Amino acid sequence: MGQSVRNKIVKRIYAKHRGWVFTPSRFLDLGSRRSVDEALSLLEKAGTIRHLARGLYDYPASHPKLGALSAQPDMIARALSESESTRLQPSGAYAVNLLGLSQQVPAKYVYLTDGASKRIEVGNLEIRLKQTTPKNMKTAGKTSGLVIQAFRYLKKDGVTLNHVSQLKRTLSEQDKAQLWKDRVYAPAWMHDYFKEIAEN
């Protein structure tokens, strides 16, 4: 492995914010897979980066008293997604939590994807990527997608007036308009809720 490959990798890592999660594929433009793997191994031994799971590393964030902090679920999922050029959509209890409809921290973080299904454990975190239909990915990356997935998880009997009132308060006018527009990607029973959320 040439020293230059390692130096280029270090430079790219330092240019990122702490907490960045990545796979070796992010450096394949700098050298061969073997030289990249060797460089990452050396950087791990030096304590510059941390090995999280097979083919997964981070440039760990740290706290003055707590030391190295755990990698964030979204950063892990994003790294897995970027390595395969796929899209993500948080779902299940995680979508409910992200919208502030529940303060309960989910036991596992589930994302819908248009790539292959995967399950990965990093410390106490369990992250699942679940392959889904193209229709479910139409709203990926939008707040409307979060709402649709949160309501799917809560189910018709679990969506309350408090949930609707909170979304009416917290969603921006743009997000409300997009939610109403994206009702075509949601089950029919959600449409009345979306109308109430979107109305001024």
What Rg, from alpha-carbon coordinates, does the chain have? 20
Per-residue confidence band for 84, with pLDDT thresholds at 50, 70 and 90: confident
| pLDDT at residue 127 in the model | 94
| pLDDT at residue 16 in the model | 94
Question: Taking 60 as the threshold, does the pLDDT of residue 149 lie above it?
Answer: yes
Q: What predicted TM-score, i.e. pTM, was given to this entire model?
A: 0.85
User: What amino acid occupies position 137?
Assistant: M
Per-residue confidence band for 154, with pLDDT thresholds at 50, 70 and 90: very high
Q: Domain of 26: which CATH number?
A: 1.10.10.10
Final residue of a structural domain among 25, 41, 68 = 68
Question: Taking 60 as the threshold, does the pLDDT of residue 1 lie above it?
Answer: no
Domain total of the chain: 2
Tell me: do 11 and 97 sit in the same domain. Answer: no
pLDDT digits (tens, 9 = 90+) for 34-69: 999 999 999 999 999 999 999 999 999 988 888 888
| pLDDT at residue 21 in the model | 97
Summarize the confidence of residues 72-98 as an average pLDDT: 93
The domain of 128 spans 73-198
Tell me: do 91 and 178 sit in the same domain. Answer: yes
Summarize the confidence of residues 168-185 as an average pLDDT: 97
Per-residue confidence band for 25, with pLDDT thresholds at 50, 70 and 90: very high
| pLDDT at residue 60 in the model | 95
How far apart, in whole angstroms, are the C-alpha atoms of residue 8 and residue 174?
Answer: 42
Final residue of a structural domain among 21, 37, 68 = 68
